[in-house]
């Protein structure tokens, strides 16, 4: 049974939670700032239009910026797959983020430079490598029907697993999620087990591969998200998924400092009104005034 470590992370009080965007009042935040669905990007890197083993799907779009570590990893793993399995088609890289992050068309997340869409490696039904013509929907048998009666392509399970393995073992990134359909996950995991891959690597792949419950099944691509490093968390990078047990822990504020940050975030106007405590009567101070004296004489 697949293990899901959704309880492997606990709420952490980190400085990143104090601010969501770089402003003159928060000059210390930079890089991948905020959450993947509510964040921005500073000092990002641009993925080239093409390179060894990869090509951008939208060559003239604007959503090809990301965390420099993510861009570096994409170039490295594409090159690695091309070297391990020469003669194949390039990896087709979809959207990352805008140069300054924030909301982009077609996506709810992809706002802080830590998300990227990766189209499948595919072959003809006879297993001849071909470039993926777009985001094609792979079924449980590994086949995907092309539009307009163009026939079928087949998921290149071997190259696809090489890519997943390279990303999971990349020195540049820690994978937080690989959103993909259950059918594709099963094909990849079965292939990895048949190869005799290390059990801990297969388990990690099973853990991060996930068909999302709140969006499309992702049977036409992998949506990958990388985790914040501890250094990035201090500069404003936040969450987007569990803090898996193999990831380096994030810094935690001391309890007294965390209290100060929590207090700073509170709006005093929103605080509930508290009645003043009842005062104990004082027999002297609360005694009634004596009646006025009458006229003398």
**Is 62 within a domain?**
yes
Quick check: 111 pLDDT over 50?
yes
**Is 116 within a domain?**
yes
Whether 168 contacts 204, CB under 8 Å = yes
Mean pLDDT confidence for 160-166: 98
Give Cβ neighbours of residue 163 (< 8 Å, ≥ 6 apart).
Answer: 77, 78, 81, 91, 118, 121
Closest CA to 21 of 33, 13, 31: 33
**Is 52 within a domain?**
yes
Whether 219 contacts 160, CB under 8 Å = no
Question: How many domains in the chain?
Answer: 1
Sign of CA dihedral 169, 172, 176, 180: negative
- Among 55-69, 214-228, 282-296, whose mean pLDDT is lowest? 282-296
Query: At 51, is the secondary structure helix, strand, or coil?
Result: strand
pLDDT at 16: 40
Quick check: 113 pLDDT over 50?
yes
Domain of 187: which CATH number? 3.30.1380.10
**Is 6 within a domain?**
no
Run of H or E including 55: strand 54-56
**Is 255 within a domain?**
no
pLDDT at 47: 98
Mean pLDDT of the chain, nearest integer: 84
- Say how far apart CA 262 and CA 17 lie, in whole Å: 9
What confidence tens digit (pLDDT) does each residue in 40-61 have? 999 999 999 999 999 999 988 8
pLDDT at 256: 54
**Is 270 within a domain?**
no
**Is 109 within a domain?**
yes
What confidence tens digit (pLDDT) does each residue in 166-221 have? 999 999 999 999 999 999 999 999 999 999 999 999 999 999 999 987 777 899 99
What confidence tens digit (pLDDT) does each residue in 211-235 have? 987 777 899 999 999 999 999 999 9
Residue range of the domain that includes 180: 44-229
- Say how far apart CA 183 and CA 142 lie, in whole Å: 8
Give Cβ neighbours of residue 4 (< 8 Å, ≥ 6 apart).
Answer: 207, 210
- Say how far apart CA 127 and CA 135 lie, in whole Å: 18
Beta-strand (E) ranges in 75-173?
A: 91-93, 115-119, 122-123, 129-130, 143-145, 152-155
What confidence tens digit (pLDDT) does each residue in 251-273 have? 886 555 455 445 555 555 555 55
**Is 122 within a domain?**
yes
> What is this structure's pTM?
0.78
- Specify the residue for token string 């071909």: 130
């Amino acid at each position: 049974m697949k293990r899901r470590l959704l309880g492997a992370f606990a709420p952490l009080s980190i400085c990143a939670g104090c601010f969501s965007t770089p402003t003159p009042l928060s000059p210390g935040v930079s890089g991948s700032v905020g959450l993947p669905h509510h964040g921005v990007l500073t000092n990002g890197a641009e993925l080239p239009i093409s390179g060894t083993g990869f090509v951008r799907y939208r060559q003239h779009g604007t959503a090809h910026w990301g965390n420099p570590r993510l861009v570096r990893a994409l170039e490295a793993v594409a090159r690695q797959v091309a070297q391990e399995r020469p003669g194949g088609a390039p990896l087709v890289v979809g959207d990352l983020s805008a140069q300054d992050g924030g909301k982009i068309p077609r996506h709810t997340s992809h706002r802080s430079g830590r998300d990227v869409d990766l189209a499948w490696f595919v072959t003809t039904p006879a297993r001849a490598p071909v470039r993926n013509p777009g985001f094609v929907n792979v079924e449980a048998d590994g086949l995907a029907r092309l539009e307009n009666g163009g026939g079928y392509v087949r998921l290149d399970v071997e190259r696809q697993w090489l890519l997943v393995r390279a990303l999971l073992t990349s020195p540049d990134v820690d994978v937080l999620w690989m959103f993909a359909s259950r059918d594709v996950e099963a094909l990849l995991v079965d292939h990895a087990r048949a190869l005799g891959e290390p059990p801990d690597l297969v388990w990690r792949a099973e853990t991060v591969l996930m068909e999302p419950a709140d969006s499309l099944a992702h049977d036409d691509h992998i949506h990958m998200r990388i985790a914040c490093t501890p250094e990035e968390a201090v500069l404003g990078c936040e969450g987007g998924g569990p803090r898996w047990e193999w990831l380096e822990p994030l810094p935690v504020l001391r309890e007294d400092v965390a209290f100060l940050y929590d207090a700073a975030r509170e709006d005093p106007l929103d605080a509930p009104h508290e009645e003043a405590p009842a005062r104990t009567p004082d027999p002297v101070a609360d005694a009634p005034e004596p009646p006025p004296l009458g006229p003398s004489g």
